Amino acid sequence: MVDRREWPIILVLAALALAVPLLGDTYYTKFATRVAIYGMAALSVDILLGYAGLVSFGHAAFYGVGAYATGMLINAGVASGFVVLPAAVIAAAVAALVIGALSLRTTGLYFIMITLAFAQMLYYVAQSLRAYGGTDGFALDGRVTLGGVLKPTDATSFYYLCLAFLALVLFLCARFLKAEFGVVLRGARDNAVRIEAIGFPAYRYRLVAFAISGAIAGLAGALMANLNQYVAPPGMLNWEVSGELLVMVIFGAAGTLLGPIVGAAVFLFFADILSGLTEHWMIIFGPILLLRVLFVKDGLYALLQKAMAR
């Protein structure tokens, strides 16, 4: 959760984020847009991993549902962002509610595998949709519109839109994780039996957290579909997407709101630099992740906190 000690970091990160378009290069604006979107998706994973103690390997499912719902609506002629984005969020939340209702009846390795299995099921469903390109996916006819408030076709306007959504998600997450809901969720993470014994249904709290997490991932998928103006199973629903989101959380710091965003920025930075050197860039990135686990045990966000405190 966000506390007073984190405000200096928040202000610095906010200032940097707002100043990106001032660099005058569309490349940096688009890169920062990807950081905002992936940061949101990584945050959705961290709600389960860091606060509920649940390792989900299937968040690509909700990310992909949000993206596909967006693409289908836009290509059907529904371009209003006031319709498309809520619809994508609701679709992902419903998918998370159904999958979570079944997955949360398991624990540990079984929970990881069943979330992965559901994600792969949706991946193959998307591949079977020939009307929407099957494995190749499909291009969007355009981006969502917001009634003249912003121009999503403009890179800078769309970046600020994504930044605004990220700020809103952070604010809402901070509120509900600081409330009784968050306290019970963390209590169930530490000792579910004791939480049940004092009268709190741990399963229901976890299910709500799972649905909220899926909704946030769906919003991220909807925004990414608008950014790329293209949706395809490999880039949206593949298990590798879930793995990348977990790596972002691990890089930044689990159990913090800003850690996943920092982790997303670092991951995308290395991916951008290393992929320019070789298509097998993960061979180089793997040892970097190993060094983080061995020598920066609390995550890069904790390292940033210590640096700011000096």
Provide the 10 A C-beta neighbour count for residue 148. Answer: 6
The angle formed by the CA atoms of residues 31, 35 and 38, to the nearest 5 degrees, is 130
Statement: residue 298 has pLDDT above 80: no
pLDDT for 3-12, tens place per residue?
A: 566 667 777 7
CATH code for the part of the protein at 4-18+25-309: 1.10.3470
Of the pLDDT bands very low, low, confident and very high (cuts 50, 70, 90), residue 211 is very high
Statement: residue 218 has pLDDT above 90: yes
Calpha distance 233→68 (Å, rounded): 9
Structural contact between residues 39 and 166, judged by C-beta atoms closer than 8 angstroms = yes
Percent of the chain whose pLDDT exceeds 90 = 62
Of the pLDDT bands very low, low, confident and very high (cuts 50, 70, 90), residue 308 is low
Q: Taking the mean position of all CA atoms in its chain, how far away is CA 227?
A: 15
Where do the domains of the chain lie? 4-18+25-309
Of the pLDDT bands very low, low, confident and very high (cuts 50, 70, 90), residue 57 is very high
pLDDT for 143-198, tens place per residue?
A: 898 876 666 678 888 999 999 999 999 999 999 988 999 999 999 999 888 999 99
Statement: residue 1 has pLDDT above 60: no
Model pLDDT, residue 294: 82
**Sign of the CA dihedral with 163 first, then 247, 207, and 234 last:** positive
Calpha distance 186→48 (Å, rounded): 10
Average pLDDT, the chain: 89
Statement: residue 114 has pLDDT above 90: yes
Calpha distance 219→223 (Å, rounded): 6
pTM score: 0.93
Q: Write b or e for each residue in 59-75: b if 16 or more Cβ atoms lie within 10 A of its Cβ, otherwise e.
A: bbbbbbbbbbbbbbbbb
Of the pLDDT bands very low, low, confident and very high (cuts 50, 70, 90), residue 310 is low
Tokens standing for 260? Answer: 């996943």
pLDDT for 124-157, tens place per residue?
A: 999 999 999 999 999 999 889 887 666 667 888 8
Statement: residue 309 has pLDDT above 70: no
The angle formed by the CA atoms of residues 111, 113 and 116, to the nearest 5 degrees, is 110
Model pLDDT, residue 18: 84
